Structure 1
Amino acid sequence: MKILVTGAAGFIGYHLSRRLLEENNTVVGIDSINGYYDISLKYGRLQELGIVPGQDTSIKYPGFSFYKIDISHLSQLSNVFKEHNFDYIIHLAAQAGVRYSLDNPQAYIESNIQGFINILELTRVHKPKHLIYASSSSVYGLNREMPFSTSHHTDHPVSLYAATKKSNEMMAHSYAHLFNIPTTGLRFFTVYGPWGRPDMAYFSFTKKIFEGQPIDVFNNGDLMRDFTYIDDIVDGIVKLLDVIPQPVNNHNSTEPDPAFSVAAPYRLYNIGNNKPVRLINFIEALEEAIGKKAVKNFKPMQPGDVYATFADISDLTTACGFMPATDIRSGLAKFVAWYKQFYKL
């Protein structure tokens, strides 16, 4: 299969590309390598995939090629689609981060809205078998019903980041309906693991604990997160490739379920661990993996944050057999081992 992975130098995109390549697929990766966080980490991921400076084809995986382009630039993206005939598109590229959106809203409009409409337009023209795209658990916003289900309505986002991801789901439905494009949106729940993002709490906590600096613990550690290990996330995406959504004929028109559509090949899934962990317990597991206690600076809740996330994954399990296999302690141990090796500690 020939598969386009946008955001291939990102955390999830790197792990997914490697898995697909190891299964002998042809993968075309796209990434803008923006400066949202340390680009040496992004280039490090690409080097792991065999991309060296000055080359756009892998020296490690014959089936991997890479383009450094911005998805908000339609002409650049269009050239890649014209050069390749993709069987599948996995769209992971986006401006991430809830807190960053408070100060840099334009970056989210350019990447998450303009970039996504470009992907949809080129999908309309070139007609791959399936478009899978990244949404986020943040779309649940002020919803307090637990666990979060894709059948719940998500009309009250509490950050611009969440609002753009909700917009992506609506945009995908309109294109699925108008042009019969099979689209699947995945609401990711707090993904962690080796080669992760430095802006994520577990990454910055690890850095500060090693350096003996205090860590900010919001809401006094009384937050719940459905931490999901990267290998489980990748496994779910790969299993969904050939689960092509179809219109659902028994759709209730008076109380429509937002997870699917009567008129379009459209589907939404949560992809999480289904076992939320209190932040303070997460920190304890991280201290155990590092072998050092954290200096904790307890703070109140942050603007744009939510108290808890908890994924109902029953529909994803039914669709493709998805079942997370990594508990928090073993996952953090793997992350800390990678961190020590990468930063030569």
Structure 2
Amino acid sequence: MEKRNIGSLAVSPVGLGCMSMSHGYGPSDEPTSIQLLNEALDAGYDFLDTATMYGGGKNEELIAKAVKHRRSEYVLASKCALFKKDGKPTIDGRPETIRSQCESSLKRLETDVIDLYYLHRLDPKVPIEESVGALAELVREGKIREIGLSEVSSDTLRRAHSIHPIAAVQSEYSLWTRLPELKMLDVCEKLGTTFVPFSPLGRQFLTGKAQEASLLTEGDIRTNNARPRFDAEAFAKNSELLKPLAEIAKELNCSLAQLALAWVIHQSDSQGKKTLVPIPGTKHIEYMQENIGALNVNMTPDVVSHLSTLIHDDLVIGERYSEGQMKVMDSERDRV
């Protein structure tokens, strides 16, 4: 399998987002998740993504329980600064908090080093330079190998990169969420920063398997902070956009999920090089196996281009997050 670079790290072209095994999509099933993580490594995944926020550390503990005995087989990414305090999401990017959370993550993950450590969200009260400075100290101490940022603007990335090289920027990117195309992808290319798309399958929407909004369960993030696009009326209208994609998937003998994911995998930079490393998340073994099958889809530049015209932000009803969520984002949209 080909490898793609994230700083000094080399990973498979598709990583595994681990959040949904412990957080955001209803009840967890630890035995199934343990089996999934091991079968994912067997299938060729070698890039696992977790965070302090996911299940209040439970997701990190799950990874340790499942695959710590196979630590040499995967690149491990986690995140700091976003967590729940008194039941409410809190952002704290102060150096002392970053250090404390890193130490706690290392213990939960039962590892000596985290390969890629992200600032999960920008703390508006703390200059990015201070947060990255703290992360740089952790690199020097050998506790983390590479620094990443999550959900930031290109201006913030530039400021952070002036303090220490930023190996990765993680943000939502898919056929129906194209915000990174405004500036971020170009800036990442110029700085040598790898872009890591999360939710490349649109929180299951682009797979055609998503339930109608009225059927979403309690504890499912699509019922609250991602509600706008999954509201019953918006969901019905957005679903019409999948019909031409289903026809193309049939022609290419792949599933809708594989088609949508292959579109992300085959995005090219200005030199024609494919560098993105999407991290679709799932807690279902069959979906994990289906997703890695996207690497075998026979995508041509013409198909990639055609898909780009069939579904994009201007055609989609609803924002990707609720109004409250959007207000606390370091959004690129505010800078164009």
Higher relative contact order (CA 8 A, sep 6+): 2
- Whether these two folds match at TM > 0.5 is no
Name the structure with the higher helix share. 2
Which TM bucket (shorter chain)? 0.3 to 0.5
Between structure 1 and structure 2, the one with the greater Rg is 1
